[in-house]
Amino acid sequence: MKPPSFEYHRPAGLAEAVGVLADLGADGKVLAGGQSLVPLLNMRLAAPHALVDINRLGAELGGIRVDGDEVRVGALVRHSELLREGPHDALPLLRQATGHVAHETIRNRGTTVGSLVHADPAAEMPAVLVLCDGSMQLASTSGTRTVPAAEFFLGPLESALRPGELAVSATFRVPPGRTGSAWVEVSRRAGDYALCGLGLTVTLADDGSVAGARAAYISVASTPLLVDLTDVVAGAAPDAVDWAAAGEHAQARTEPEDDIHATAEYRRHLVGVLTARAGRAAREHARSRPSTPELALAQESKSQGTRDA
Ligand SMILES: Cc1cc2nc3c(=O)[nH]c(=O)nc-3n(C[C@H](O)[C@H](O)[C@H](O)COP(=O)(O)OP(=O)(O)OC[C@H]3O[C@@H](n4cnc5c(N)ncnc54)[C@H](O)[C@@H]3O)c2cc1C
């Protein structure tokens, strides 16, 4: 299948890119890794007048940086780079989730920020952004604005990005000390979009009891769904948490729909089972996590130094 014809722009810098996007308005679409956009073009499900290829903007849009308690991922960071480079100590959930994104060949081209803008309710990274209280940085000729994750995902394949804007980075917040995380999902074949999946964090208090837990689900709502499980788990000893009850709590807050891949009933069942599975895994992970974010960040700098050496 071939795409409809389109105008092709390949700006050499960020200022030029946002200028071109401003001129094009709703007629322009950014081309990043092309792993979602090109199939849509080929299937004629999208027919933009012009594509603005940002792949020459690596100097301005590349790189993963830890700034204070935030991890900033530039718009040209590929899934595979995030998986390889981390930051694995400061924010292990990034690696835990990215390993489930598509297949290696797709991860080599597809970008994390592209996946966020694409806003597929079955994609992993939007849920991670929501769970990490992250945000998106969006540039245009009027300047840069920051949109919190909770306001960015508006519906299936619909985000708060406006015509003329370029997403320059995504920022994920480093979790509190003693926070463990896990990503679990079920898909029909390895690498396929999940029928249901979730990221879950468990935070332990200084006395070792569970202080809180949160989960963000994919493929069970039109946007990533954040569920706070704290009321069900807080105060319990880690081994005494009733994870089945946490799963039921989450099930009561989801309204999945039937589609050709799975019934709503099966997806709701998965929410319960996978919440319990992720809860136990995140609890174990929490036991090995540093007691403060500062210690996690110090560990990260040490690991980065070893990787760079
Ligand atoms: C067979 C297959 C299986 C897949 N499985 C999964 C999966 O299991 N999980 C998953 O999460 N993803 C999956 N994907 C999608 C993949 O992760 C894509 O890489 C990702 O969704 C989009 O990233 P991209 O860089 O390729 O974006 P593109 O395809 O280039 O763009 C996607 C959309 O985002 C916009 N966009 C991209 N970057 C920017 C930017 N910086 N600023 C403004 N707009 C931008 C584009 O205009 C377009 O509308 C799969 C893809 C394929 C082909």
Q: 150-168 burial string, b = 16+ CB within 10 Å, else e?
A: eebbeeebebbbeebbbbb
CB count within 10 Å of CB 184 equals 25
Q: How confident is the model at residue 178 (pLDDT cuts 50, 70, 90)?
A: very high
306 pLDDT higher than 80: no
pLDDT one-digit tens code per residue, 268-282: 999 999 999 999 999
| Whole-number pLDDT of residue 190 | 85
| Any atom of ligand 1 within 6 Å of the Cβ of 20 | no
The sign of the torsion formed by the CA atoms of 229, 281, 100, 114 equals positive
Q: Do residues 119 and 36 lie in contact, with contact meaning Cβ atoms separated by under 8 Å?
A: no
Cα(37) to centroid(ligand 1), Å: 7
| Any atom of ligand 1 within 6 Å of the Cβ of 102 | yes
| Whole-number pLDDT of residue 307 | 62
| Whole-number pLDDT of residue 309 | 60
| Whole-number pLDDT of residue 308 | 62
Cα–Cα distance measured from residue 138 to residue 161, given in angstroms and rounded to the nearest whole number: 7
Instruction: Give me the percent of the chain exceeding a pLDDT of 70.
Output: 99
pLDDT one-digit tens code per residue, 212-234: 999 999 999 999 999 999 999 99
| Any atom of ligand 1 within 6 Å of the Cβ of 245 | no
Q: Do residues 24 and 50 lie in contact, with contact meaning Cβ atoms separated by under 8 Å?
A: yes
| Whole-number pLDDT of residue 82 | 97
Q: How far is CA 68 from CA 172, 175, 216, 297, 298, in A?
A: 11, 12, 24, 8, 11
Which position has the higher pLDDT, 110 or 259? 110
Instruction: Give me the percent of the chain exceeding a pLDDT of 90.
Output: 87
Nearest to 136 by CA among 157, 123, 150, 120: 150
| Whole-number pLDDT of residue 117 | 98
Cα(238) to centroid(ligand 1), Å: 37
Cα(169) to centroid(ligand 1), Å: 14
Q: Do residues 283 and 202 lie in contact, with contact meaning Cβ atoms separated by under 8 Å?
A: yes
| Whole-number pLDDT of residue 220 | 95
| Any atom of ligand 1 within 6 Å of the Cβ of 29 | yes
Q: 240-262 burial string, b = 16+ CB within 10 Å, else e?
A: ebebeebbebbbeebebeeeeeb
| Mean pLDDT for all residues in the chain | 95
Q: 27-47 burial string, b = 16+ CB within 10 Å, else e?
A: ebbbbbbbbbbeebbeeeebe
| Any atom of ligand 1 within 6 Å of the Cβ of 195 | no
| Whole-number pLDDT of residue 255 | 87
1 pLDDT higher than 90: no
Which position has the higher pLDDT, 132 or 308? 132
User: At residue 83, what is the residue type?
Assistant: L
| Whole-number pLDDT of residue 195 | 96
pLDDT one-digit tens code per residue, 143-174: 999 999 999 999 999 999 999 999 999 999 99
| Whole-number pLDDT of residue 295 | 83
208 pLDDT higher than 70: yes
Mean pLDDT over 232-245 rounds to 95
Query: What pTM was computed for the model?
Result: 0.96
pLDDT one-digit tens code per residue, 77-100: 999 999 999 888 999 999 999 999
Nearest to 178 by CA among 213, 143, 150: 213
Q: Which residues 6+ apart lie within 8 Å of 38 measured at CB?
A: 3
